[in-house]
């Protein structure tokens, strides 16, 4: 079965798998654009429903390799009608109700420039920070809707208010988490560590020795869209003050970043080559964040591109070398 036949069959038969209260619902197959990702979507709306789940048919089509069509269409029906707890989807348009579900995401500003034309966003260091409303968070999957221009108009608030609330609220609903690289690898392999990673960030930082361990993974507690934590207010300063070391930030994916101590053991160019190679070979395009390596200066509290940090360090070195010459010249002038 090719993809066109698959989508046509889904559209024709999906009503047979929907609950009774979906009788008379509209069924639409459409192309949907999201950050880093465009896909063919199934959207089922009951009468009077303004917003509905968008079901990724490209993903479901791939499932046919291991599942029957009957199993796949049942899953499509379940995803199309799933109602998240704690938030009525239609209430997303009410800012007072949506505010406490706001969070930020980061993506490549360049790769998503077409989608961002109609979306309020902030560009920071080549990354686009966008605001989203969380509607579901279960089993490592996140359901959300992005705040576009039309939705912001319905909210009736300013862009500044939206971002202020989203930055602060992200830390509440998606708190940051940091752990040694070896701990994350152990979890991926199903191994049990002798010492469990503490739940709170403060406790995690107390147990972390970034310079000794070499690498740490920074994300949110759900490990979904966790790269945005690098822009959480004061988080970089908190990590820097705790570890007392500068560090490079490697954009592993949109879900997490990797911190590497800047202690001379790794050069910026080597880290850039590594990030570029891994992005090309191992990271799915929809999860890819950036090829740029970032740097945090814990003394000056500056988050910047690694190349900008190196240029700034060279300028400081040049200024320091020039200072004695200037002093010597002044002394000679005084002697005359």
0.85 exceeded by pTM = no
How many other C-beta atoms can be found within 10 angstroms of the C-beta atom of residue 315? Answer: 10
Residue 299 to residue 156: CA distance in whole angstroms: 40
54 pLDDT above the threshold of 70? yes
pLDDT value at position 181? 83
d(CA 101, CA 135): 7
Three-class SS of residue 135?
strand
203-213: pLDDT as tens digits: 999 999 999 98
Does 294 have pLDDT greater than 90?
yes
Please check whether residue 135 is in contact with residue 147, taking contact to mean a CB–CB distance below 8 angstroms. Answer: no
The two tokens of residue 261 are: 């101590």
Predicted pLDDT of residue 140? 55
pLDDT at residue 328 is higher than 60: no
d(CA 105, CA 169): 12
DSSP state of 194: S
List the chain domain ranges.
Answer: 3-81, 89-173, 176-314
What Å distances lie between residue 170 and 82, 105, 129, 204, CA to CA? Answer: 24, 9, 12, 19
List, in order, residues 6 or more apart from 154 with CB less than 8 Å away.
93
CB 249 within 8 A of CB 295: yes
Residue 60 has a pLDDT of 95
Those residues whose C-beta lies under 8 Å from the C-beta of residue 227, and which sit 6 or more positions away, are 106, 219, 251, 252, 253, 254, 255, 256, 257, 289
Please indicate whether residue 136 or residue 168 has the higher confidence score (pLDDT): 168
Question: In the predicted model, what is the mean pLDDT of residues 267-275?
Answer: 94
For residue 318, the SS3 value is helix
pLDDT band at residue 35 under the 50/70/90 scheme: confident
DSSP letter for 241, please: H
**Paired residues of 143 in beta bridges:** 136
329: part of which helix (H) or strand (E)?
A: helix 306-335
pLDDT at position 331? 40
Question: What confidence tens digit (pLDDT) does each residue in 304-321 have?
Answer: 999 999 998 888 776 666
Dmax (CA) of the chain: 100
158-162, 230-234, 317-321: the lowest-pLDDT one: 317-321
Is residue 119's pLDDT more than 50?
A: yes
Q: Cβ(107)–Cβ(128) under 8 Å?
A: yes
How many other C-beta atoms are found inside a 10 Å radius of the C-beta of residue 330?
10
């Amino acid at each position: 079965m090719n993809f066109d036949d698959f989508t046509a069959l889904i559209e024709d038969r999906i009503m047979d798998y929907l609950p009774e209260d979906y009788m008379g619902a509209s069924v639409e197959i459409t192309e949907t654009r999201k950050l880093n990702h465009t896909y063919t979507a199934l959207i089922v709306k009951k009468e009077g429903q303004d917003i509905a789940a968008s079901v990724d048919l490209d993903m479901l089509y791939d499932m046919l390799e291991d599942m029957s069509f009957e199993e796949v269409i049942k899953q499509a029906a379940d995803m199309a009608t799933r109602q998240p707890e704690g938030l009525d989807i239609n209430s997303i348009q009410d800012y007072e109700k949506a505010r406490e579900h706001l969070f930020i995401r980061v993506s490549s500003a360049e790769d998503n420039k077409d989608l961002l034309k109609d979306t309020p966003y902030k560009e920071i260091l080549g990354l686009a920070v966008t605001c989203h409303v969380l509607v579901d968070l279960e089993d490592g999957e996140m359901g959300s809707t992005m705040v576009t221009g039309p939705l912001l108009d319905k909210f009736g608030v300013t862009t500044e208010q939206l971002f202020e609330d989203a930055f602060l609220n992200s830390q509440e609903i998606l708190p940051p988490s940091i752990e040694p690289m070896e701990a994350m690898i152990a979890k991926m392999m199903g191994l049990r560590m002798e010492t469990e990673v503490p739940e709170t960030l403060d406790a995690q930082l107390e147990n972390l020795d970034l310079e000794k361990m070499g690498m740490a993974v920074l994300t949110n507690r759900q490990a979904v869209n966790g790269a945005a934590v690098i822009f959480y207010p004061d988080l970089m300063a908190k990590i820097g003050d705790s570890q007392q070391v500068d560090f490079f930030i490697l954009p592993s994916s949109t879900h997490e970043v990797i911190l590497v101590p800047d202690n001379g053991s790794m050069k910026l160019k080597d880290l850039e080559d590594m990030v570029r190679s891994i992005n090309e070979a191992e990271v799915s395009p929809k999860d890819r964040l950036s090829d740029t390596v970032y740097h945090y200066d814990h003394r000056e509290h500056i988050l910047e591109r690694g190349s900008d940090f190196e240029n700034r360090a060279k300028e400081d070195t040049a200024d320091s070398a020039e200072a004695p010459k200037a002093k010597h010249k002044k002394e000679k002038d005084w002697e005359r």
